[in-house]
Structure 1
Amino acid sequence: MDAKEIEKLKYPIGKFEMPTEITSAILLKYIDELEVYPGKLSNLVSDLDEQKLSTAYRPGGWTVRQLVHHIADSHHHSYTRFKWALTENKALIKAYEEKEWSKLFDAKTAPIQLSLTYLSALHAKIVYLLRGLSDADLNNCYTHPEDEFVVTVAENICKYAWHGRHHYAHIKNLIEREGWR
């Protein structure tokens, strides 16, 4: 497999690009995506057997099981980042080593239902929070420690809607390539 094919498998919907203008219509669309995402993901993966859950979405990539657990871990961090941005002045967040988290026992072996159930509750909380924000709240921000990049609440909404689509596409494309459905 050449580098171009690997890149397409890594980024099936393309790399994240921040909208040039974040409008209220865009934010509502992305919040709606976040609201339905847990059910959509659950429908995609719930009938996969252990062998399929243990299949990597690309050579050298995470398994479907690791992806599902990563999504829950990452969106958990996103929720915390929203809270920090809303309650602290330019909060300096804590980064996490997602690749190392994916190597942990639970990411490799835990039933995916644990993360699917968690995502359902977590996204309900995220969406409830996001739907109640003011325009001023959307401009609150956090700072990432690795590059001191500042991210607003509005930008984080865009990032995590993309993040969900990104990993959903990894799994969906694998299912289609393997002819599992």
Structure 2
Amino acid sequence: MEDKLRYPIGKFTAPQVYTTDYLSERIQEIAEFPALLKKEVAQLNDEQLDTPYREGGWSIRQVVHHCADSHTNCFIRIKWALTEDNPTIKFYYEDRWGGMDDNVKMPIEPTLALLEGLHFRLAYLLNSLSDSDLEKSFIHPEHNASFQIKEIIGTYAWHGLHHLAHITELKKRKGW
């Protein structure tokens, strides 16, 4: 049960081949994420927003802010990969960021607006990339591995839907 609460849509599975259709579908999911998230959280009150999606997990409020933190880092990492030769990106402690005052207490409306603009830019950029751009990469120091932009597209499409499912599943369990 814990694994289902933690990974309601399962863990990310990379495709064997990154086809044009696969990438287009994932970019569309990235583009649509802010509207889907807003729809799920817009009517929640502060008590609901401050409810963790699982025991020991983040509150819905923290999940919303975490998506902005994570996806902002994603956008910057892709820009680095496009403008530098396989750069080593900066690792960040998402758990520490998630516990900061802005993530714990701040209203979600500014973050929803940020995500809307960020995802518009991210999808616009991703849709403009050439095949050679999709092969560009960065080094993630936490994993000591190189990741290509085409791999990141799938990962972040999954990431948004993963956290969206945390919220929708909690709402179902609570009858909200």
Name the structure 2 match of 1:166.
162
Deviates more, 1:64-73 or 1:15-24: 15-24
- Counterpart selection for 1:22 from 18, 21, 41: 18
Aligned to 2:122, the other structure's residue is in SS state helix
Name the structure 2 match of 1:137.
133
Name the structure 2 match of 1:104.
100
Number of residue pairs the alignment of both structures matches = 176
Counterpart residue identity of residue 38, structure 1: P
The CA distance in 1 between the partners of 2:96 and 2:68, in whole Å, is 15
Aligned to 2:142, the other structure's residue is in SS state coil
The CA distance in 2 between the partners of 1:149 and 1:166, in whole Å, is 23
The CA distance in 2 between the partners of 1:134 and 1:43, in whole Å, is 33
* Residue segments in structure 2 that go unaligned for 5+ positions in a row: none
Render the CA deviation track for 1:85-109: whole Å, top value 9, x for unaligned: 1111111000100000011000000
Render the CA deviation track for 1:26-56: whole Å, top value 9, x for unaligned: 0000111111110110001000000000000
Aligned to 2:74, the other structure's residue is in SS state helix
Aligned to 2:138, the other structure's residue is in SS state strand
Residue 115 of structure 1: CA displacement?
A: 0.9
2:86 counterpart of 1:90: yes
Using the size of structure 1 for normalisation, the TM-score is: 0.96
Q: Where in structure 2 are the equivalents of 1:109-128 lying within 5 Å?
A: 109-128=105-124
- Counterpart selection for 2:73 from 64, 77, 81: 77
Using the size of structure 2 for normalisation, the TM-score is: 0.99
Residue 147 of structure 1: CA displacement?
A: 2.3
Counterpart residue identity of residue 76, structure 1: T
Q: Which runs of 4+ in 1 moved over 6 A?
A: none
Counterpart residue identity of residue 25, structure 1: D
- Counterpart selection for 2:150 from 146, 154, 173: 154
Aligned to 2:9, the other structure's residue is in SS state coil
Name the structure 1 match of 2:54.
58
Task: Say what the alpha-carbon RMSD is for the aligned residues.
Answer: 0.6
Residue 7 of structure 1: CA displacement?
A: 1.1
The CA distance in 2 between the partners of 1:105 and 1:148, in whole Å, is 30
Counterpart residue identity of residue 112, structure 1: I
The CA distance in 2 between the partners of 1:74 and 1:58, in whole Å, is 20
